[in-house]
Amino acid sequence: MSHPTGFSVIAIDGGAATGKSSTARGVADRLGFLHVDTGAHYRAMTAALLKMGVQPLENTALAEALEQIKLETAVDGLHAKLIINGKTPKGTDLRLPEVNAAVSAFAALAPVRSSLFAYQRSQTAVARHHKLPGLVMEGRDIGSVIFPDANFTFFLFADESTRIARRAQEGQTDQISERDKMDSGRKTAPLICPDHAERIDTGALDLAAVINHICERVAHAAP
């Protein structure tokens, strides 16, 4: 599949278990773009802060801990991985019940979000450095805050029963609606569907159809 000449950014946002990761990975594989999962960034920060004994509160303990955290990137195939203080957290560690339970509370804190803002924006430089033609970034505020100027902006949604069934299939305990309430209700960078985003119902379309749809949008924009 062709893509526009020049570098493209695809922003994919949506609530918990709406299929963002599978979609973003599929699109990245098809287009040869770098895939960046910003949920994993918040999960890695949460795991690191919990390990440092920090509570999800905006206080000096949090500020001091954030100052000690150094972020770098490793690229594995087409996937960008966050390296936090020299270590790449394992996928299973990022989905532990204690991380699931605390991640939305940490993600609601402005200092946590601002410590990731420049890092996330800098992922375009990582993709360019690896000579990749673009970037697919998934999260909650990619189209609204991180890349409001993205070339393509999508917002995924699905009914709650589909989302609960998805997590159950993955063998996971997750507080989907509680996390969505916290993510949508927070003051800083809440989960919203940007006006310019295209909404996709992932309960009505299967994964292959969603990936095809996004890749076709990119192909049709090609000169």
DSSP one-letter code for 187: S
Stretch that binds ligand DC, among 57-65, 101-109, 152-160, 195-203 (CB under 6 A): 101-109
Question: Which of 8, 38, 124, 151 is close enough to bind ligand DC by CB under 6 A?
Answer: 38
Work out whether 99 is an interface residue with ligand DC (CB under 6 A): no
Interaction of residue 166 with ligand DC, rule CB under 6 A: no
Amino acid 218 reads V
Stretch that binds ligand DC, among 3-11, 47-55, 136-144, 195-203 (CB under 6 A): 136-144
Q: Which tokens in the block code for residue 208?
A: 């292959």
Cα–Cα distances (Å) from 182 to 3, 17, 56, in that order, read 36, 15, 13
Residue 184, by phi and psi: left (phi above 0), alpha (psi -120 to 50) or beta?
alpha
Examine residue 107 and tell whether it contacts ligand DC (CB under 6 A). Answer: yes
Told to check if 179 binds ligand DC by CB under 6 A, we report: yes
Q: How far apart, in whole angstroms, are the C-alpha atoms of residue 42 and residue 169?
A: 23
Site residues (vs ligand DC, CB under 6 A): 16, 38-39, 42-43, 103-104, 107, 139-142, 179, 183
